[in-house]
Structures are given as structure tokens and as C-alpha cells.
Amino acid sequence: MSASARPIYLDYNATTPLDQRVLDSMMPWLTGNFGNAASRTHLYGWEAAEAVATARQQVARILGATEKEIVFTSGATESNNLALKGAFEALGASRKHIITVATEHKAVLDTCQHLEAFGAEVTYLLPDSDGLICPEQVQDALRPDTLLVSVMYANNEIGVIQPIIEIGSLCRKAGVLFHTDATQAVGKVPIDVQHAAIDLLSLSAHKLYGPKGVGALYVRKGISLTAQLDGGRHERGLRSGTLNVPGIVGLGVACALAQKELAKESTRLTELRNTLENNLINSLLNTQINGHRTQRLPQTTNISFGGLDGEELLMSLHRLAVSNGSACTSASVEPSFVLKALGLPDDLAHASIRFSLGRFTTSEDIDLAIGHILEVVSRIRNGA
């Protein structure tokens, strides 16, 4: 299929294309500079270790952390597993209670369910109809045996940004660990782990124009975790395995680029998203935006098109690459559990589309998308 015939990509929350600048930074480490960063007796290993150290600094910088607090992983799913399982195995003998949110990514929810089989007691907070929880819900759920609170920084389906700073403060005062899956937030909104009192933070490179298969876990100094992979005691004993040097270099550069361009890109994407929303909401009856209208990511919108069959709508939007939920649950025929948690009925949840814009989205893309969506929705509603 020619480039001009390919659908307009509006599914950046599922994954982002690799930025050419990131690829360029990775290429030397895929060819001539192939050393193992754990090889400390020759030049090849020294070069690789230095590249990893630079990337660690770049990742730390975008989070307001120190490089010694960054643990490289294969991605946010592994980071979430290491954070939750690692904390439970290290400290769960005396504290077995975990608090999370019903709209978390499956990488957190499934991990919590796994821990329940090993004695954990998990409280799943329900958000309001706008997708937000309030700090008081966390406060009320805290118990003397609460080990950890895990709240997603920004939701992958509706883009809402939770009150992370307030929740972090509550947890710090209560002496409870605070973990956030910030996969969708890193590089899109400013993050400061110190100011927000975050103890553990998960991220993934492929959500910010880096390569797939690499991510990181921020572990605040002094936090004890039990490693989930044994063999070699890499990454300060928290994550064994030969380091993916090209991927780590790419993650570091992706973080540096995102941090440099964050403010300008946030303004640009907010304007494009608002143009998309306003045109659709003002032109189509029985159409609504799901989630909080202001406390959300700049590039994400989730819109319900009432009175339509969701599968027919999604398949008819052949000029667009969009989704009806998380990429990790897209094989399911069930309506989005996130939208259901907000109180949407099945028919409306089924007829909802997530549009997520990104670095390479243009105003022309948005204009073409608007025209295509209006034409398709009108045609389906008119029975044509």
C-alpha cells in the first residue's frame, strides 16, 4: 500500500512511530558498537556502559529523579510487575493490602489479581463519571496494613490525569508506597517524582517515539523490592539480564527529545484535538466526550456516537487508524471496562472511539479525519 493510501494514524496511545532522530542514535549500537554493557574488561563493554549511563541520566531528568533510581526493563508491563510483585514479596509479610483503581491498565489489574492468589487484599476504587478519583477515596481506603497504592498517572483510553500530587502526599504521610503507571503521561505532561511524592513509576519507550521492548521503573532511593528475574544481578540486583543497549539508548534520546519539545507540542496537540472534538460534537447529534474535559492529556479524546453499532462504525472508518479502547484488550468483544466503570451503558460504550494524536499528526490530517467521520456517521445513521 502506498504511503498516500495508508490510513491517517490517530492511535498514538497504542504505540508511536519511532522518531528518525531516535533511530539514528540507536544505529551505531546495532552494528559496530555491539558490546555488552556488563563487560568491564575492554573497550566494547566500556563504550556500551557509558551509553547506558547517558541514557539513564536522560530518563532520570524527564522524571526529576537521579540516575541511580532508574532500572531498565523490557517495558511498562514488566515495570508494573516488578513494582507490585517486588514490593509485595519484599514487604507483604506484614502488609498485605493494596489500593488501586478499577480503570487501571490490565498490566496493573492482572498483577493485582495474581497477588490476590498469594494472599494480597486489593481495594479497587471506582472513579466518578468523569473518570477521576478523589484523594478522599484513597484516604478512606487506607488501612494499617496497606502496603501500596497504585494509581495510573493518565488513563490510556480517556486520557484523564488523576490527582497524583495529592495522592502521593497522602501516601507519604501514611507511610504507604505510591506507585504510578505513567506510561501515557511521560513526555506529554510535566512529571516530578519528588514533588509528587512518587515512590515507584513505570514507563515504556514505545509510547514516546522510542523503540518497542524497552522501558524503565523509577525506584525511589531506599525502597526495597524483590527481583522478579534472577541471574546476573544486573540493574543493582533488581532486574537480571543482558542490557538492551540499542533500546536503552533509544529510550534515553526519546526522553530527551520529549522533554525539550513538551510545552510546544502540548499546545499544538491540544489545539488539534479541540478542533476535532468541536467539529464532531457541534455537527453530530447524540455525541459525547467521555472523561474529564480539562484534566486530561492534550492529545487524547474518547467520543461516543450514540445510536450506532460500534463494530460497524470502527470498520467503516477505513481511512483512519483508530481504536475503541486499549490495544491490550482490542481482541475482546466486550465493551471497554474503563467506560463501563464510568457508568456508560453497553451500547454507548460499544459505540465509542478513542482518537489519540501525536508528533506527526498535522492539521490536514485532522481536517480529513473530520470529513471522513462526519460522512461515515451520517451514512450509517441514514441507513445508506
CATH number of the domain where residue 288 is located: 3.90.1150.10
Cell numbers linked to 114: 495474581
Rounded-to-integer distance, Cα 159 and Cα 289, Å: 11
Rounded mean pLDDT of the chain?
Answer: 94
| Pairwise pLDDT comparison (91 vs 361), residue with the higher score | 361
β partners of residue 186: 189
How confident is the model over 192-211, as a mean pLDDT?
A: 98
pLDDT confidence band for 103 (50 / 70 / 90): very high
Note the pLDDT of residue 240: 85
Name the band, by pLDDT with cuts 50, 70 and 90, for residue 202.
very high
> Reading across the β-sheet that carries 287-289, which strands appear in turn?
287-289, 300-305, 352-356
- pLDDT for the residue 4: 61
Q: What is the pLDDT of residue 143?
A: 97
Q: 209, 242, 258 — which closes off a domain?
A: 258
Q: Is the pLDDT of residue 2 over 70?
A: no
323 SS3 class = strand
Q: Is 171 annotated as catalytic? A: no
Band (pLDDT 50/70/90 cuts) for residue 233 is confident
Q: pLDDT of 74-88, one tens digit each?
A: 999 999 999 999 999
Query: pLDDT tens digits, residue range 27-47?
Result: 999 999 999 999 989 999 999
Are residues 183 and 250 both part of a single domain? yes
Contacts of 345 (CB under 8 A, 6+ apart): none
pLDDT at 383: 79
Number of domains in the chain: 2
225 and 271 co-located in one domain: no
Range of the domain at 314: 3-16+262-381
pLDDT bucket at 320, cuts 50 / 70 / 90: very high
Reply yes or no on whether the pLDDT at 94 is more than 90. Answer: no
* Side chain identity at residue 112, one-letter code: C
Tell me the torsion sign for CA atoms 24, 27, 32, 36.
positive
The Cα 153–Cα 90 span in angstroms is 24
- For residues 196 and 250, membership in a common domain is answered with yes
Q: Which of 225, 258, 291 is the last residue of a domain?
A: 258
242 & 306 share domain: no
What radius of gyration do the chain's Cα atoms show? 21
User: Could you tell me whether strands 97-101 and 146-150 are parallel, antiparallel, or unpaired per DSSP bridges?
Assistant: parallel
Phi, psi (deg, nearest 5) at residue 321: -100, 100
Which class for 334: exposed (0-12), middle (13-18), buried (19 or more C-beta within 10 A)? exposed
Is residue 179 located within the same domain as residue 237? yes
pLDDT of residue 384: 61
Instruction: Pick the catalytic residue from 112, 171, 255, 328.
Output: 328
Domain final residue pick, 258, 293, 323: 258
What is the torsional sign of CA 322, 323, 327, 330?
Answer: negative
For 250-275, write each residue's pLDDT tens digit. Answer: 999 999 999 999 999 999 999 999 99
Residue 160 has pLDDT above 70, yes or no: yes
pLDDT exceeding 70 applies to what percent of the chain? 96
Q: What is the mean pLDDT of residues 54-58?
A: 98
Q: Which residues are registered as beta bridge partners of 70?
A: 218
Assess whether 267 and 370 both reside in one domain.
Answer: yes
